[in-house]
Amino acid sequence: MSKASKPLEPSDILTEHFSDRSIRRLLQDPEYVRGLVEIIAPELVALLDFSRGAQQNRSFISDALRERESDVLLRVPFQGPPDSEELLIYILIEHQSTVDPTMGFRLLSYMMEIWQEQWRAWQSGTGVNRRLDPILPILFYTGDRRWASPLSLAAIMEVPEVMERFIPTFDTLFLEVKTTDQEALTKSGHPLGWLLSVLQKENAGKSAISEALAAAVSALSRLDETQVVQIRQALLYFIQLILHRRSAAEHEELIELVKQHSRDKSEVAIMAQTAAELLIEHGKAEGIVEGRQTSILQLLRIRFQNVPETLTERITSIESLSHLDRLLEQAMTVQSLDEIQV
């Protein structure tokens, strides 16, 4: 496997904010999106040409939508000639276990943002034609709490029966990772299904996650070389999940298990060592940032006693050291909290 793929870069191994960004990073690969559609709507896979799928530049959509860290927008043509019709696949990734009853409204809002951008292109004369691209919406939910809220606008309305036909309706594909049967996830044999079977056990006991890892990595090792990139991404994900989600006492044993069941043991060892080293360095950097945030807040409390919670939250959300250094200077010199320019 290592001979068929390029050397690992640090950015390939270390995914900051693992919970929020790891799945999103995987789903930026059209082949992984194909794996997702295979699980929840296999009848659509044969209609779409994922080999020509293209991740959409986030400048394609408005600032309001581009600020989301947990969504994916992919343009995929239908099977056919190069000029065949296309659709957009919009994936909203939800990690929080708090079920949002307004999800139907949120999804429609995000879809409208995309369509409005196309409309603005028509208005400016840059649009190809005056037609909206169809959107396939997918809710990808990894929370532990069971999702019981309908994905519809009607769920957050009180509407007399006679008015129900006037409520906009649309279908949404939905995957509830933690409660989906392992067989349903892995039936297609795609690396994503095996990856999700391990994600299901991220908080389970050591024996349960060990069993899931062994089964998943063994299955990946039996796949052919055409999926070498996706196999590699899955192995990286397993290593990061172990380092981010399991106790330090389990790290060595679980990574050794991944190595023993993989086809390229030496590459897994390199991945694990590099990831661990990068996490240590990242932890040191985070410690510097947290120390600077604490210094600013302590100084403000000494000078002004009560620091509003909103200001505290804004300061603790800043990760740029240069920005924090400027705030520290302000904290020493300003005459009031209103002068703080966060």
Measured distance CA(93)–CA(250) in Å, rounded? 28
Is the same domain home to 62 and 147? yes
Domain edge (last residue) among 204, 228, 263 = 263
Per-residue pLDDT, 281: 60
Per-residue pLDDT, 2: 43
Per-residue pLDDT, 1: 42
Per-residue pLDDT, 152: 92
Tokens of 180: 């989906």
Is the same domain home to 53 and 165? yes
Measured distance CA(25)–CA(268) in Å, rounded? 19
Is the same domain home to 149 and 252? no
Residue 303 maps to a domain: yes
Residue 269 maps to a domain: no
Tokens of 170: 């649309």
Residues 134 and 87 sit within 8 Å (Cβ to Cβ):
yes
pTM confidence score: 0.76
Structural domain boundaries, residue 244: 186-263
Residues 112 and 64 sit within 8 Å (Cβ to Cβ):
no
Per-residue pLDDT, 63: 59
Say which residues have a Cβ less than 8 Å from residue 40's Cβ, sequence separation at least 6: 138, 173, 174, 175
- Give how far Cα 272 sits from Cα of 1, 9, 14, 299, Å: 16, 13, 11, 41
Q: Which residues of the chain have pLDDT under 50?
A: 1-4
Per-residue pLDDT, 168: 92
